[in-house]
Structure 1
Amino acid sequence: MERRNRSYVTEFILLGLSDKANTNILLFVVFLVIYIVTLVGNLILITASRLDSRLQTPMYFFLSNLSFLDICYTSSIVPKMLDTFLAKRKTISFRDCAAQMYIHLSLGETECILLAVMAYDRYVAICNPLRYTIIMNKTICIMIATGTWTGGFLLSIVHVAFTLTMPLCGHNVINHFLCEVPAVLSLACIDTFINEIVIFVVGVLILLIPVFLIFLTYIYIISTIMKISSADGRYKAFSTCTSHLTVVTLFYGTAIFMYMRPKSSHSPDKDKMISVFYLIITPMLNPMIYSLRNKEVKGALRKVKVKTMLF
């Protein structure tokens, strides 16, 4: 099947977000700015967590992982996207399409697991504060982070294998700005029901189960916070959770809507807008959300600014 697939399709044509030259130039500028802001914002957050001793905790270790992941996430998509805005021939080879699909799916699935891990970290910190440093010690955090990245990169193999091994019979025009699974599935010249079932099952494992675990974790967290007698204590506990909950809502909400709804409800324009939000906008917003809602991060960012000015 793979030989048949490759014999008919050696490259794909990406239609992108628009077919108008002037609009594409404007979009190039907009997404270039978004990309730069994403890189700078996440790099600053990583630097701040390394420089400030107050941020040498499991929470900020995982937050640094999230920032690094978001840098890689957007870098696997935006450079090629920017190229298609200006290129006369908007093509991507079969091999590059497979690589892009695998990398962005791997990073996306890693983020799904990582956000659940960050919820568990908040649960231990709030519900078992006396044992927090023992349970979430440095070795355990490194092991969890390694398992998270490994799990994401292994699970995505299923998605890619069940998408790119289908016969496309010469259909190579992808109505999207990247090699997204639903967009490539629509090119298949055979019934994709089995493929969709497998992808749905993987989606349940990587999207719905983590969401359920996060929801369950926050039930315990909120229950514990409500028992705190001090209003300041309750506020401080809630403030460490609201940023994470905001990020979870933005990322999971759009990802679930993209991958867990029936094929009949997919439309190219809607899918592209959803993809822009959870693939490009969310990684830009994440460092802003954590910076605006967290006094410790604000203090660390001021420290970075002072050191930068001195040098």
Structure 2
Amino acid sequence: MPPAEQGRAHAVTLAKAGADIVALDMAEDLTTVPYGLGTADDLKATATAVEDQDRRVLTAKADVRSSAQLDEVVAAALDQFGHIDVVCANAGIYSQANFWEMTDEMWQDMIDVNLTGVWRTAKAVAPHLIERRQGSIVLTSSVNGFQPGWQIAHYVAAKHGVIGLMRNFANELAPYGVRCNAVCPGAIDTLMLNNPHTYERFAGKPGGTREEAIESVRHFHLLHGRSMLPPTAVSEAIAFLSSDAAEHVTGIAFPVDAGHLAMDGYNPSPTK
């Protein structure tokens, strides 16, 4: 079963590398998000995919907006596995509106999940990592952690904030031997992009299709032949940053964007 979303892709990729997995999701929708979020069935499918790699898995219905729920998950993970080595703060949502037309709820949901949820996730596990004097935290930012985006001021603010958190976490945790880095995905082939609202955004017209979006995204990338990138592209970066191969790496923002941030804004002649 190929991973369809970033969370599952990360779980399976790390399981293939030998990790046991703790996977959590709020498993319900938010009214401010114009596409369906993960479900309880999705969480079960992730567990099955991890078990198919002969690794153990603990799943939990938990919301990154709640420190109490995250603390419960960490306690359950330590009870089952004894220790935690890697923290992957991946929860995220996406919505669109001009900043002067956003509702307070749209803004708050975005900041609560994409920024404050990252802080809460790291906060829940940091004392354990500090006590063990080792570990890796990888936060999910975005190319929008470096640049603006049309009608996504709340998303851009959150993702810029994640890079700021990462740099502070790296500084504060370094004396304890704990590393913190961020991955910065570009256009990834997940439900965040695979929905009618985002198709219209990329196609530049009402009623845009997935096929039109795929062609449009080619202009977003520098490397030959790239459209929406597979979720595993980000997962492999996370696996590297979490591995012994990156034992001397901390405090970096790692783009996974097929060269997007190296471009002069827009690729007028994408190659297939």
| Same topology, TM > 0.5 | no
Q: Counting helix residues as a fraction of each chain, which structure ranks higher?
A: 1
Higher relative contact order (CA 8 A, sep 6+): 1
Give the TM-score taking structure 1 as reference length: 0.28
State the structure with more CA Rg. Answer: 1
Q: Counting strand residues as a fraction of each chain, which structure ranks higher?
A: 2
